[in-house]
Amino acid sequence: MTHDHDPLGERVREAYHEAPLDDEAARARLLEKLHREPAPQVPAAGASNAGRGAWWPAFAAGALMIVFMAGALTGWLLARRAAAPVPAAIAESESGVPVVFALPAPGARIVALVGDFNGWDAEATPLHRAALGNVWIAEVRLARGLHTYAFVVDGERWIPDPGAPLAPENEFGTHTSVVIVGESVS
């Protein structure tokens, strides 16, 4: 029987050859037994038979971690969104009074309505071009009371409503308009 080159096995064989044995027959039997036994298989550095087929627990743990993190992030985002303060005028506007805002703006590409009722957010209340083409309109439900507002034309130019009373100049030096909702004018 032939053996692959095995440094460890070679050293063991050499040690037995060098070991002083009183009985030559015992020494011969030992050497014969060593030659009949297959050389032990030593895995290459870094290789392990124990790791074969054991990749799936690590994969499953990683997948569970990704699912857990995605769920936690989603929960955090939903909780953050739910906890965001809602201006009182918007909260009341669900049952508020419908108010139509209109602005003649020939040549405008987009027009938005901003005011104390939508946090002055130029993306919150876009106006739509009316059938006439040069007039932009939006209907908004507002809580009763006094509200200040303006229009934003093409995302840059803030202008007051030409058909409504002006509010006092604000801290930014711009004019806004005033609308009183729910009050009868006599």
Q: How far apart are CA 155 and CA 112, in angstroms?
A: 8
Other beta carbons within 10 angstroms of residue 170's beta carbon come to 11
What confidence score (pLDDT) does residue 91 get?
47
pLDDT (tens digit per residue) in 138-183: 999 999 999 999 999 999 999 999 988 888 877 777 789 999 898 6
Is residue 131 predicted with pLDDT exceeding 70? yes
Q: Which amino acid is at 96?
A: G
> Sign (positive/negative) of CA torsion 64, 70, 74, 75?
positive
pLDDT (tens digit per residue) in 7-23: 766 766 666 566 555 67
Structure tokens at 36: 């009949």
Q: How far apart are CA 116 and CA 121, in angstroms?
A: 9
Other beta carbons within 10 angstroms of residue 87's beta carbon come to 13
CA diameter of the chain: 132
Show Cβ contacts of residue 173 under 8 Å, excluding neighbours closer than 6 positions: none
pTM score: 0.48
Tell me which CATH homologous superfamily contains domain 88-181: Immunoglobulins (2.60.40.10)
Domain ranges of the chain: 7-82, 88-181
Rg (CA), the chain: 43
Q: How far apart are CA 32 and CA 3, in angstroms?
A: 13
